[in-house]
Amino acid sequence: MAYLDHAATTPMLPEAAAALTDRLGTTGNASSLHAAGRRARRTVEEARETLAEALGARPSEVVFTSGGTEADNLAVKGLYWSRRAADPARTRVLASPVEHHAVLDAVHWLGEHEGATVEYLPVDAHGRVHPEALRAAIARDPDDVALATVMWANNEIGTVMPVRALADVAAEFGVPLHADAVQAFGQLPVDFGASGLAAMTVTAHKIGGPYGIGALLLGREYSPVPVLHGGGQERNVRSGTLDVPAVASFAVAGRLAAERREWFAREIGTLRDELVDAVRTAVPDALLGGDPSPEGRLPANAHFMFPGCEGDSLLLLLDAQGIECSTGSACSAGIAQPSHVLLATGTDPDLARGTLRFSLGHTSTREDVEAVAKAIGPAVERARTAGLT
Query: pLDDT tens digits for 125-150?
Result: 999 999 999 999 999 999 999 999 99
Query: Do the Cβ atoms of 84 and 98 come closer than 8 Å?
Result: no
Are residues 60 and 160 both part of a single domain? Answer: yes
Question: What CATH number is attached to the domain comprising 295?
Answer: 3.90.1150.10
Are residues 111 and 233 both part of a single domain? Answer: yes
Structural domain count of the chain: 2
Are residues 250 and 355 both part of a single domain? Answer: no
The span from the first CA to the last CA of the chain, in angstroms, equals 30
Q: Rounded CA gap, 284 and 233, in Å?
A: 55
Give burial (CB, 10 Å; 0-12/13-18/19+) of 250: buried
Over residues 270-279, the pLDDT tens digits come to 999 999 999 9
Q: Which of 240, 259, 278 is the last residue of a domain?
A: 259
Q: Rounded CA gap, 99 and 263, in Å?
A: 28
Are residues 99 and 233 both part of a single domain? Answer: yes
Are residues 222 and 139 both part of a single domain? Answer: yes
Over residues 293-336, the pLDDT tens digits come to 999 999 999 999 999 999 999 999 999 999 999 997 545 555 56
Are residues 26 and 64 both part of a single domain? Answer: yes
What mean pLDDT comes out for the span 197-226? Answer: 98
Q: Which of 219, 238, 259 is the last residue of a domain?
A: 259
Query: Do the Cβ atoms of 76 and 200 come closer than 8 Å?
Result: no
Are residues 255 and 268 both part of a single domain? Answer: no
Mean pLDDT of the chain: 96
Q: Which of 331, 333, 335, 386 is catalytic?
A: 331
Are residues 248 and 314 both part of a single domain? Answer: no
Q: Which of 231, 259, 287 is the last residue of a domain?
A: 259
Closest CA to 227 of 235, 216, 215, 237: 237
Over residues 33-46, the pLDDT tens digits come to 999 999 999 999 99
Domain that holds residue 20: 14-259
Q: Rounded CA gap, 315 and 320, in Å?
A: 9
331 noted as active-site residue? yes
Are residues 236 and 354 both part of a single domain? Answer: no
| pLDDT of the residue at 388 | 60
Question: What CATH number is attached to the domain comprising 175?
Answer: 3.40.640.10
Are residues 27 and 171 both part of a single domain? Answer: yes
| pLDDT of the residue at 337 | 78
* DSSP bridge pairs for 357: 303, 326
Q: Rounded CA gap, 11 and 163, in Å?
A: 28
Say whether pLDDT at 389 is over 70: no
| pLDDT of the residue at 328 | 74
| pLDDT of the residue at 336 | 60
Are residues 268 and 247 both part of a single domain? Answer: no
Calculate what percentage of the chain has a pLDDT beyond 90.
96
Are residues 221 and 269 both part of a single domain? Answer: no
